[in-house]
Structure 1
Amino acid sequence: MAKFCLIYQDLKAKINEGIYRTNDLLPSESGLCDLYDASRDTIRKALSRLREEGYIQSQKGKGSIVINRQRYVFPVSDVISYKELATRRHISTHTTVIKDKITKLPISDFASVDPTAKAIPVTKLVRVREVNGEPVIIDIDYVSTDVVPGISHEVAADSIYRYFEEELHLSIAYAKKEITVEPATDSDQELLHLKAGDVVVVVKSVTSLEDTTTFQYTESRHRPDRFRFQDFARRL
């Protein structure tokens, strides 16, 4: 195993064990070089991996500070399934399917993301995502029955993207997304353990295949105190 991986794993373990706590500064790069008998480039690779996984944040003039891991980073630009992201972030997660039925797409709910949406037949899935035993997301999916005739309860509780790609061999290409902040509904309050007057972060996405067929409409309702959304932008 590469040396930077060993250093990354050791630092991550120390953060998880509370040796380095939230808002603590890690030793400086030169201090880490001495501690691990490693080059500055090796240390920077280890720190970069910790930043990518949401363990630390670089602060100019200070160094690397340990951040609150209760706020999980969800990328905005990527087309990635919840299970893929949870696996990548090493998050302990559980999915509960609370609704599974055939209905019509509620076009008014997605008009701002896809003005051309039609009331097509869809499978509606409502799933609650738990992280470390705490409910933090309600995912409401509408999947075209013309593209995906049916979704079993077992698939819905595991990974529908794995089913789409590995069993149905669909080529998922891109998605359009919209992010808003809205008052928590009665359902949000019940399922996400919120109070009257709380808000949720709502991410609506419309996903298409390589042939441009739109086949999935998703509304994800997030507890705002548990998630932050991250993107990468470059000045043109």
Structure 2
Amino acid sequence: MAKYRDIADDIRQKIKNQEYTFGQKLPYEYVLCMSYHCNKETMKKALDILVKEGLIIRRRGAGTFVKDYDPAMDNPVSKFGRGLTEQYKGIKEVTSNVLEFEVVPADELLSEKLQIDVGDFVYHIIRLRFLDKVPHLIDITYIPISVIPNLKLQHLKGSIYSYIENVLKLKIQSCHLTIQAALSTPLEQQYLGLKENEPYIQEEQISYLSNGSIFEYTLSRQHYAHFEFQTVIIQQ
């Protein structure tokens, strides 16, 4: 494992063990570099992982601070990582039509998103997801083979997250989510019923295991009329 991942793992564990507590300022980067015997670039990569996981936050001119940590967040059912199947369990039937399933070498974009080397092999998956037999969204997913091995067609038709957790016994930790809109392409027009020049809503999701490894880069595209986002904002 790369050294910056080892460092991220160690700092993450210290946050969970409350060696670094909520609101506490982390040591300066040069101090951390000396503690972990690494250069600034390696430490920056390690801290970037924890920022994306939502464990720490950088405040310009002030430093890097620990965000509030709730151990319940380790349970993927309590946060983002339930996946569509678990999210609608007992509410609606979730089914998937696999449009594409292949292994491809990572290009520069995938290398950056998944933090792997250019040329490393990844699964390229396109699935049309249904709720009660009605098309709901298109998932375009890239998964590093080195992180999630032996993925089969049968797993894609069910729940990939279930395979990761129940078969591989890996723990899903967190994700970095970006939401944006874009004009539809023939793919969305064909499967989501969008017209030319109508937009889709896209959720770009980079997902992490508890060991800090990125296991998924997914673009989920929905019909604009079916998208809803809810959140709760608490002032501290």
TM-score tier by shorter-chain length is: 0.5 to 0.7
Q: Which residue is equivalent to 1:55?
A: none
Q: CA deviation at 1:222?
A: 0.8
Matches within 5 A, 1:96-111: 96-108=97-109
The alignment's TM-score, normalised by the length of structure 1, stands at: 0.61
**What SS class does the counterpart of residue 151 from structure 1 fall into?**
coil
**What SS class does the counterpart of residue 205 from structure 2 fall into?**
strand
Q: CA deviation at 1:170?
A: 0.8
CA distance, structure 2, for counterparts of residue 131 and residue 109 of structure 1:
29
Q: Which runs of 5+ in 1 are unaligned?
A: 1-76
Q: 1:78 aligns with which of 80, 83, 100?
A: 80
Q: CA deviation at 1:226?
A: 1.4
**What SS class does the counterpart of residue 201 from structure 2 fall into?**
strand
Q: CA deviation at 1:102?
A: 0.4
Q: Which residue is equivalent to 2:229?
A: 229
Q: Which runs of 5+ in 2 are unaligned?
A: 1-78
Q: CA deviation at 1:132?
A: 3.0
Count of matched residue positions in the alignment of Structure 1 and Structure 2: 157
Q: Is the CA contact (8 Å cut-off) linking 2:111 and 2:117 kept in structure 1?
A: no
The alignment's TM-score, normalised by the length of structure 2, stands at: 0.61
CA distance, structure 2, for counterparts of residue 115 and residue 102 of structure 1:
15
Q: CA deviation at 1:152?
A: 1.2
Matches within 5 A, 1:2-17: none
Q: Give 4+ residue runs of structure 1 displaced > 4 Å after superposition.
A: 114-118
C-alpha RMSD of the superposition:
2.0
Q: Which residue is equivalent to 1:177?
A: 177
Normalized per residue, the structure richer in helix is 2
CA distance, structure 2, for counterparts of residue 134 and residue 97 of structure 1:
15
Q: Is the CA contact (8 Å cut-off) linking 1:110 and 1:204 kept in structure 2?
A: no
Q: CA deviation at 1:209?
A: 1.1
CA distance, structure 2, for counterparts of residue 117 and residue 182 of structure 1:
27
Q: Is the CA contact (8 Å cut-off) linking 2:181 and 2:202 kept in structure 1?
A: yes
Q: Which residue is equivalent to 2:151?
A: 151
Q: Which residue is equivalent to 2:6?
A: none
Q: 1:109 to 1:186 in 2, by over 3 A?
A: farther
CA distance, structure 1, for counterparts of residue 111 and residue 133 of structure 2:
31
Q: Is the CA contact (8 Å cut-off) linking 2:101 and 2:126 kept in structure 1?
A: yes
- 1:72-121 deviations in Å (ceiling 9; x for gaps): xxxxx622211001215x0233211111100134543796xx49564332
**What SS class does the counterpart of residue 229 from structure 1 fall into?**
coil
Task: Work out which of the two has the higher radius of gyration on C-alpha atoms and give 1 or 2.
Answer: 1
Which letter maps to 2:103? I
Which letter maps to 2:150? G
CA distance, structure 2, for counterparts of residue 225 and residue 176 of structure 1:
24
CA distance, structure 2, for counterparts of residue 190 and residue 110 of structure 1:
30
Q: Is the CA contact (8 Å cut-off) linking 1:92 and 1:132 kept in structure 2?
A: yes
Q: CA deviation at 1:183?
A: 0.4
Q: Is the CA contact (8 Å cut-off) linking 2:114 and 2:217 kept in structure 1?
A: no
Q: Which has the larger displacement, 177-186 or 142-151?
A: 142-151
